[in-house]
Amino acid sequence: MGDPVVVGYANNKFVYSATTKVKSLYTQGGADSSSRDEDGNKYAVPVGKKFYLLQVSYMRTTTNISTGLIYIQPTINSGVGATLALSVSAEANVPVVLPAFVEVAAGNYIGQGSMTDLSWQGFGVEVDV
């Protein structure tokens, strides 16, 4: 028997199984916007799954600020009831890539805060609960 195949980023690794999915997500710079997946669809974590966001890259286009970047949203495209999951410093027009470990439960969306001049992309793994 060979070694198990793992997926992940930095120190965060998951044993790959038939139901594990690696997902790329992104936002397009709208206030409270929920992320989209590789197919351009708004991504909600499916029932019976968890999603772990493992890497994020982002850039703000106008101002330097420390701000909330990633929010877990119970409702699509809405900051109402959203929980701050990752806060960052953003220098104008400087791309940043960083490791993350954000766990998102089924039924939730992953979005950004109220900034309209910021976009992010990242990837993670969707696993069975």
Average pLDDT over residues 2-12: 75
Q: What is the pLDDT of residue 45?
A: 97
Instruction: Indicate whether 127 pLDDT > 90.
Output: yes
Q: At 23, which amino acid appears?
A: K
CA 42/CA 33 separation, integer angstroms:
9
Residue 84 phi/psi, 5-degree rounding, is -65, 125
Lowest average pLDDT, out of 1-15, 43-57, 110-124, goes to: 1-15
Instruction: Indicate whether 14 pLDDT > 90.
Output: no
User: Would you kindly state where each structural domain of the chain is located, as residue ranges?
Assistant: 6-128
Instruction: Indicate whether 78 pLDDT > 70.
Output: yes
Distances (CA, A) of 58 to 25, 68, 80, 128: 12, 12, 23, 28
CA 81/CA 83 separation, integer angstroms:
7
- Which CATH architecture best describes the domain 6-128? Sandwich (2.60)
Instruction: Indicate whether 12 pLDDT > 80.
Output: yes
Mean pLDDT of the chain: 85
Instruction: Indicate whether 3 pLDDT > 60.
Output: no
